Amino acid sequence: GESVGLHLPTLSVQEGDNSIINCAYSNSASDYFIWYKQESGKGPQFIIDIRSNMDKRQGQRVTVLLNKTVKHLSLQIAATQPGDSAVYFCAERFFNKFYFGSGTKLNVKP
């Protein structure tokens, strides 16, 4: 099967700083990518997505960057807040199937 991996299992940032969460994906034919946020005891929540024909997409306080050359995806969170503390997953879509990474836990220190 396909594999999606993350470079760091945990990330600690100071409140107000910017956060960057990285993800490596394995299949160059994947056409769609999503970042999810999962809080303890809850299901994943959609944050932002990007299609393979794009390099960058911005949302409210979040930006996703896609580098197809090195098969790398990143999520940037601006002015990180305590409410951003959660586990973040990237997922790639390959022929109707989504493959998730193992997640990065983001800790926001007050």
Partner 1 sequence: NAGVTQTPKFRVLKTGQSMTLLCAQDMNHEYMYWYRQDPGMGLRLIHYSVGEGTTAKGEVPDGYNVSRLKKQNFLLGLESAAPSQTSVYFCASSSVRGQIYEQYFGPGTRLTVT
Interface with partner 1 includes 29 (CB under 8 A)? Answer: no
What is the nearest approach in angstroms of partner 1 to the Cβ of residue 44? 5
Provide the phi-psi class of 89: left if phi over 0, else alpha when psi is between -120 and 50, else beta.
beta
Interface with partner 1 includes 100 (CB under 8 A)? Answer: yes
What is the nearest approach in angstroms of partner 1 to the Cβ of residue 16? 29
Interface with partner 1 includes 40 (CB under 8 A)? Answer: no
Site for partner 1 in 69-98 (CB under 8 A): 89, 91, 93, 96-98
Alpha carbons 50 and 65: distance in angstroms, whole number = 8
Residue 52: helix, strand or coil by DSSP? coil
Q: Is the dihedral of CA 22, 108, 84, 98 positive or negative?
A: positive
Find the binder of partner 1 among 10, 12, 28, 45 (CB under 8 A): 45
* Alpha carbon separation from 76 to 13, 69, 83 (Å, rounded): 12, 19, 15
Residue ranges that bind partner 1, judged by CB under 8 A: 1-2, 4, 31-32, 34, 41-46, 49, 51, 89, 91, 93, 96-103
